[in-house]
Amino acid sequence: MNLHEKTLVALSGGVDSAVAAKFLVERGHAVETVYVKTWEHEEDLLGECPGAQDLIDARLVSEKIGVPFRILNLMDFYHQHVVEPMVEGYAGGITPNPDVLCNREMKFGALLDYALKEGFSALATGHYCRRVESPNGEIQLWEGKDKDKDQSYFLSRITSKQLHYARFPLGEMEKRDVRTLAKKHNLPVADKKDSQGICFLGKVKVPEFLSNFIDDKPGEIVTVEGVVVGKHKGLHRYTLGQRRGIGVPSNTDHENFVVTGKDQTENRLIVAFENFSESTLWADTFEVSDLSFLSQSKLSSSNSLLGKARYRDPSTPILFEAKEHDCAKITFSTPQRALTPGQVLAIYCNEQLIGSGIYKLQQQGRASLSA
């Protein structure tokens, strides 16, 4: 990071972005902060949605560290570029990742555009990842030092241009150090719990959130052999790999049903017993589309590639085979469970994030090429 650069820090109302702002202030940067407002009537949403308190906390943090504070209204943009694609995806039988979409379209899309128009030279966030400049001048995105908190996966769809202006002050820190710094500087959010919800919306459960936009359409629950075993409320309420809340009891051997597919044409939810040999649940070969790269040079066969199938999954060796129409065939070294169309595969070379793709929708709502 260049010293004294004019930096806009996106505050979420949480401890991570607060410490990121304080860190930059202490290092002489010309810092201002911003809270992005995305929802007008959060009380209309089901579940806990602490947006009002987050705004208050963001303002208190800014006052504490002595920097100007802004509020940016992006409600219409958020609805058009995050909510609508998310709702359309679920209605069409796929499972988009709103946090990944939010980072590309909101934080490093609309918010970054605003920052540059306002004369800032950088936009900082509280993400746990590292922005690295290589000897040849290439700007790279690396996993954060704290592997338990690493959030590079959520940034796997941003562009090289967006990364150029991004700053991640927490990249070399561990979470416990962030909490320690927050308490040391008496930040108002030092003891605030981390948010675990939809980007910018807090602890709103996805099925309940979607119920505001998609009408239930009940149908049959069937086994992979076609035997009817129950009724579902609406396909958008379920995701591949789901065990709980299906509404179908286990058998006499205490084997539990798990969702393995969706038949959109017949409005049927497909289930099978949890079993490693179940090919509709476990597979090693998938197709991804809509490829996005920060460093295509690392795709050469001489580099060992890793795939992070989902955010909390470990990185796994993969084979990458480029196909036509911006697609690729991905073969994992070990079978993966219930990978879902619409979600994101992040591709790494060691700790460096080099790109990503979206799992393609195959037969019966699955992503696997082999099922």
* pLDDT tens for each residue of 299-344: 765 578 999 999 989 999 999 999 988 899 999 999 999 999 999 9
- The arithmetic mean of pLDDT across residues 118-142, rounded, is 96
Q: Same structural domain for residues 201 and 254?
A: no
Number of domains in the chain: 3
Q: Same structural domain for residues 157 and 257?
A: no
Whole domain around residue 187: which residue ranges? 6-207
- pLDDT-derived band at 362 (thresholds 50, 70, 90) equals confident
- pLDDT-derived band at 193 (thresholds 50, 70, 90) equals confident
Side by side, which strands form the sheet with 257-263?
A: 228-232, 219-223, 268-273, 257-263
Identify whether 199 is a catalytic site residue: yes
For residue range 107-116, list pLDDT tens digits in order: 999 999 999 9
Q: Is residue 48 a part of any domain in this protein?
A: yes
Q: Same structural domain for residues 179 and 232?
A: no
Q: Is residue 371 a part of any domain in this protein?
A: no
pLDDT, position 198: 56
pLDDT, position 46: 45
Catalytic residue among 49, 129, 199, 349: 199
Q: Same structural domain for residues 109 and 251?
A: no
- CATH number at 263 reads 2.30.30.280
With a cut of 60, say whether residue 137 has pLDDT above it: yes
CB 194 within 8 A of CB 178: no
Q: Is residue 1 a part of any domain in this protein?
A: no
pLDDT, position 301: 58
Catalytic residue among 49, 102, 129, 349: 102
Give dist(CA 259, CA 28) in Å, integer. 53
Predicted structure pTM score: 0.91
Identify whether 102 is a catalytic site residue: yes
The DSSP letter of residue 281 is: T
Q: Which of 213, 225, 205, 214 is nearest to 268 (CA)?
A: 225
pLDDT, position 156: 97
Q: Which residue has the higher pLDDT, 64 or 298?
A: 64
With a cut of 80, say whether residue 223 has pLDDT above it: yes
Q: Is residue 160 a part of any domain in this protein?
A: yes
Q: Three-state DSSP class for 97?
A: coil
- pLDDT-derived band at 371 (thresholds 50, 70, 90) equals very low
Average pLDDT over the chain, rounded to an integer: 90
Q: What are the residue ranges of helices labelled H in the chain?
A: 15-26, 51-65, 75-78, 84-91, 98-102, 111-117, 160-165, 175-184, 206-210
With a cut of 70, say whether residue 53 has pLDDT above it: yes
With a cut of 60, say whether residue 176 has pLDDT above it: yes
- Radius of gyration of the chain from its Cα atoms, rounded to whole angstroms: 22
- The arithmetic mean of pLDDT across residues 11-35, rounded, is 96
Q: Same structural domain for residues 315 and 261?
A: no
Q: Same structural domain for residues 61 and 78?
A: yes
